[in-house]
């Protein structure tokens, strides 16, 4: 169990301690909205890091809106998000996607839960039904969560959400190995290693722009990652 900031007699984390990070790939339809929402919710105090491999104007728009952009050749979701996580400079790190599906208005709640002592706060899209998610994807995510629950011996509800908050030490202490399956790994390894994890219900909106992930190919890769991580952590 983690020690809360109050118990440690230190000041609680504020937006000045927050980094919001994301991998971006051809998201010019949504990036300005997402960054504007982060700026509004955090009073412009959060650090924003985008690792970008786009061929459109995503990087330029992100920079115009105050984000620190790291340009990277496209190598997949996990490679980009891993670089973003490692590049964040603050003590609380929030991952999100840049397609306007995740509610930046939830950032204060996530930060409050970290201050309450949780090591990881994971956004649970399925709690409210995730009606904006395609039915096939919703079914797949339910199956992924059930499989991860069996492997971990602990019930989890949304294994592949892209919105989570972490204490920096969680990111630094675990060697992350997955690419397409990084979203599942970012929940499963902390849970398996005894970190205090809270799944927090969040709203989920229809994405802006076209999806880049093939549901069949991507789903198969995620399923393989979940099995691999579960076996590694349990045995």
State pTM to two decimals: 0.93
- Distance, CA of 77 to CA of 152 (rounded, Å): 24
Question: In this structure, how many other beta carbons lie within 10 angstroms of the beta carbon of residue 155?
Answer: 11
Six-digit token string for 127: 């709690």
Q: What is the pLDDT of residue 211?
A: 67
Residues contacting residue 214 through CB under 8 Å, at least 6 positions apart: none
What is the number of other CB atoms lying within 10 angstroms of the CB of residue 64?
A: 12
Would you state the pLDDT for residue 214? 79
Tell whether the model's pLDDT for residue 8 goes beyond 70.
Answer: no
Q: Quick one: pLDDT band at residue 9, thresholds 50, 70, 90?
A: low
pLDDT value, residue 112? 98
Q: What was the pLDDT predicted at 10?
A: 75
Average pLDDT of the chain is 94
Question: How does pLDDT run across 104-115, given as a tens digit for each residue?
Answer: 999 999 999 999
Structure tokens at 65: 């809106």
**Residue 145, pLDDT above cutoff 90:** yes
At 122 the pLDDT is 98
Confidence tier at 148 by pLDDT (50, 70, 90): very high
pLDDT for 64 beyond 70: yes
Please identify, in words, the CATH class of the domain defined by 17-234: alpha beta
Is the CA virtual torsion 200, 136, 206, 73 positive or negative? Answer: positive
């Amino acid at each position: 169990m983690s020690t809360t900031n109050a118990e440690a007699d230190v000041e609680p984390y504020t937006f000045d301690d927050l980094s919001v990070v994301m991998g971006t790939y051809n998201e010019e339809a949504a990036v300005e909205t997402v960054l504007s929402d982060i700026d509004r919710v955090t009073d412009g105090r959060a650090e924003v890091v985008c690792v970008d491999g786009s061929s459109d104007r995503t990087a330029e728009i992100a920079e115009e809106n105050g984000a620190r952009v790291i340009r990277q050749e496209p190598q997949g979701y996990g490679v980009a998000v891993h670089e973003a996580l490692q590049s964040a400079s603050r003590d609380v790190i929030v991952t999100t996607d840049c397609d306007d599906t995740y509610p930046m208005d939830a950032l204060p709640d996530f930060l409050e839960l970290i201050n309450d002592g949780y090591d990881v706060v994971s956004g649970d899209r399925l709690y409210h039904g995730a009606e904006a998610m395609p039915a096939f994807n919703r079914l797949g995510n339910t199956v992924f969560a059930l499989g991860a629950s069996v492997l971990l011996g602990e019930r989890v509800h949304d294994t592949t959400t892209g919105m989570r908050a972490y204490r920096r030490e969680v990111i630094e202490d675990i060697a992350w190995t997955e690419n397409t399956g990084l979203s599942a790994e970012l929940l499963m390894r902390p849970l398996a290693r005894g970190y205090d994890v809270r799944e927090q219900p969040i709203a989920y909106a229809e994405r802006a722009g076209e999806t880049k992930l093939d549901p069949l190919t991507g789903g198969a890769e995620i399923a393989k990652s979940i099995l691999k991580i579960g076996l590694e952590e349990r045995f």
